[in-house]
Amino acid sequence: MKFKKFDNHKILEDMYEKGFSSNHNFLEYKDSIKLNEEVNSIFEKKIYTVKESYQNDFWDFKLEKNTLGKIQTKLIGQSAFIDKLISNLLNNEQFANILDNLIGKNRKLSTLNIRRANSHTNYDGIHTDHVGMLSISILTNNHNRNSPTTCLIPKSHRSKLLIEDKVENIRTELFAPFYEPLTGKTGSLSFFYNKTWHGMKKGNEVGTAIIFSFIAEGYEIYNDKKMPQKTFYGKNFIDVFNDSFFNLLDLNKNIFKNKITRTNKNQIDTLPKKLLIINFYFYCIIFLSKTKKIIKNIINN
């Protein structure tokens, strides 16, 4: 399996300027088709329970649906082809160099899931996650503006306003003038900082993506520590992945402390005028939302 070359310069430039870099087609066409087929196979199996030998407290191969209607499952161990793709990507020198520059060498792999949304899936409101986190998205089917997909607000990673979940209940579409949706063909890869304001918009089609996240050294890590011995297709995990992968998962030791700082001063520049307008827009929405609740409570009482 061979990958196309990444445009390192553009990725690093985009990440600095916008907080994300999207639509990098790194797979050959035949591999993107195979990825789509393998992912569809995972969801078509509809595995809602797991075999006795795979059961543990934190890791299994069942499909789970959250309150928004998104279906997700653990990615690795489901398909020999996908495991090989992920292993090759994580061991790719050019890809590793990009990650070194974006989040540092001593990073850890926090999550590695695959998620599917459709026309029945609700929006995921604009929010920010872990300030020390970097996420990678790989689209496993074609995404357009009618697809339910991640949306990001350019340059918001520079804002001192970490909104967390404060406006998450507000419809994502209200921020359409500001956000950029992640669209592209199957195999399209994107990077984004999780402190970049982002959410998921609703769509009329099916949208499926691999999502994996890295935590920078010095920050809290949210890993599922236990893994089954075997993959779903019967091979031992230790025969599929090398030591560097298990080190990324930090299965044997947790060297990271809970040292979360809410801003990274080295990456905060003077806020662009457009971002100041967006900040003001958010404050107005928060104010109106709270005012509406107060008035409603007064009327009800």
Give the pLDDT confidence score for residue 34 in this predicted structure. Answer: 97
Look at residue 157 and tell me if it is in a domain.
Answer: yes
Of 5-9, 60-64, 143-147, 196-200, the one with minimum mean pLDDT is 60-64
- 2 Cβ neighbours under 8 A, 6+ residues apart: 28
At 257, is the pLDDT very low, low, confident or very high (cuts 50, 70, 90)?
very low
At 299, is the pLDDT very low, low, confident or very high (cuts 50, 70, 90)?
low
DSSP string computed for 233-285: TS-BHHHHS-HHHHHHHT-S---------S--GGG--PPPHHHHHHHHHHHHH
State the Cα–Cα distance between residues 251 and 266, nearest whole angstrom: 31
Task: Show the tokens assigned to 88.
Answer: 């090759």
At 160, is the pLDDT very low, low, confident or very high (cuts 50, 70, 90)?
confident
pLDDT over threshold 90, residue 210:
yes
pLDDT over threshold 60, residue 256:
no
| Structural domain boundaries, residue 178 | 8-268
Q: Are 150 and 185 in contact (CB under 8 A)?
A: no
Look at residue 126 and tell me if it is in a domain.
Answer: yes
- 170 Cβ neighbours under 8 A, 6+ residues apart: 125, 126, 285, 289
Look at residue 290 and tell me if it is in a domain.
Answer: no
Q: How many folded domains does the chain comprise?
A: 1
**Local structure of 38: helix, strand or coil:** helix
pLDDT over threshold 60, residue 212:
yes
Look at residue 277 and tell me if it is in a domain.
Answer: no
Q: Return the percentage of the chain with pLDDT > 70, whole number.
A: 75
Mean pLDDT computed over 277-285 = 63
Look at residue 293 and tell me if it is in a domain.
Answer: no
Look at residue 284 and tell me if it is in a domain.
Answer: no
| CATH number of the domain that residue 189 is part of | 2.60.120.620
Look at residue 23 and tell me if it is in a domain.
Answer: yes
CA distances from 115 to 112, 149, 159 (A): 10, 10, 28
